[in-house]
Amino acid sequence: MLHRIAIAAVTVATASAAQAQDVGDASAGEQLFNQCQTCHVVVDDEGNTIAGRNARTGPNLYGVIGRQAGTVEDFRYGDAMVEAGEQGLVWDAETFVQYVQDPTGFLREYLDDSRARGKMSFRVRSEEDAQNLYAYLASVGPDGGEGDGDGEEDSGS
């Protein structure tokens, strides 16, 4: 009987570790973000630079997680990105991870338009890297990445 309880406890612990892993590793993502800085900055609403220097090829990625695609005001997106945003594309763990691994392919699939083109000419090599980048960008957003996967901790240890 005691034995059973112990096994159940181990199962619960393993499940929550797997969940935490799902969203990636923010500090690994911070390292990886070096690759993005050629084109992107992360600058908060007060103008403080969190990452990058002054690249303007891509939009400011501050608060990108949870945001509608293609909506940074002073940035000129491609038509496909604007259209995807209008159709309801929002950056979350799933869409972000897919997009950064194949920007044009993702937009084509999302819009169901084989001629759609994305303006981002860079691909993240692996899903794991993409998840780590997601975790990093969520962590530097306006609410520190809360609201996604929150409220799952300590379910009665």
Site string for ligand HEC, 14-33 (x = CB under 6 A): --------------------
Residue 98 binding ligand HEC, by CB under 6 A: no
Q: Which of 81, 93, 97, 138 binds ligand HEC (CB under 6 A)?
A: 81
Distance of closest approach, residue 58 Cβ to ligand HEC, in angstroms: 3
Q: Is 70 in the site for ligand HEC (CB under 6 A)?
A: yes
Q: How far is the CB of 12 from ligand HEC (least distance, A)?
A: 33
Quick one: which of 40, 42, 51, 145 contacts ligand HEC (CB under 6 A)?
40
Closest CA to 130 of 97, 95, 94: 97
Does 64 participate in binding ligand HEC (rule CB under 6 A)? yes
- Number of residues counted as binding ligand HEC (CB under 6 A): 27
Contact 145, 65 (CB under 8 A): yes
Shorter beta-carbon distance to ligand HEC: residue 112 or 154: 112
The string of DSSP letters for 83-106 reads HHHHTT-B--HHHHHHHHH-HHHH
